[in-house]
Amino acid sequence: MTATPPPLTVAQLLPAARSGDAVAMEQLLRLTRPDIRRYALRHCAATTATDDVVQEAMIIVYRRVGALREVAAFGGWVVRIVQRLCMRPMLAWLKGEPLAQVEDNLAWSHRPDHELRHDLALAIDSLPPLYREALLLRDFEELTIEEMSERLGVTREAVKSRLHRARALVREYLEPPPAR
């Protein structure tokens, strides 16, 4: 009777996957899929296309894991991929693409585009200045956390906190009130 070896961790699989080991890559994707799905469910509250985001995130991880500089940064890198994928429909919509072409499954898609743009502008305008600035720098100017930290003169953690809070407040502003 042979004992099965303990499952490998992300830290153990990542170096081999980065150097092109297909088996390690497959195990890495299988291991991280539940986390990617959890991130997508958390960050993609405005869409119901979580499975698409999960699939696309896994493709990006597969294609770009070799470019990851620090193994310890893997978790944050994956979260950032999911966040950007979740924001893509809204950012495309803000740039003027018709909502139906951006994504069919937006929770607010029953409303005309001009109303949604107006509400989003009001939501962003209602943010306290430090949250508004963080949101605009990240999602509209597409700066990295490091670039934002330098521009704002605060720590990376402060930038992340402001950005998280800004997105939560915008989401709260845009979501319809709960049915009673």
In a domain, 98, yes or no: no
pTM tops 0.85, yes or no: no
Is residue 77 a part of any domain in this protein?
Answer: yes
Q: Are 168 and 46 in contact (CB under 8 A)?
A: no
pLDDT tier, 109 (very low <50, low <70, confident <90, very high otherwise): very low
Domain count of the fold of the chain = 2
Domain CATH code at residue 117 = 1.10.10.10
The dihedral region occupied by 151, where left means phi > 0, alpha psi between -120 and 50, and beta the remainder, is alpha
The pLDDT tens digits of the residues spanning 129-150 come to 999 899 888 887 778 889 899 9
Q: List the domain range (segments joined by +) for residue 46.
A: 8-86
Residue 139 and residue 70: Cα distance in Å, rounded?
24
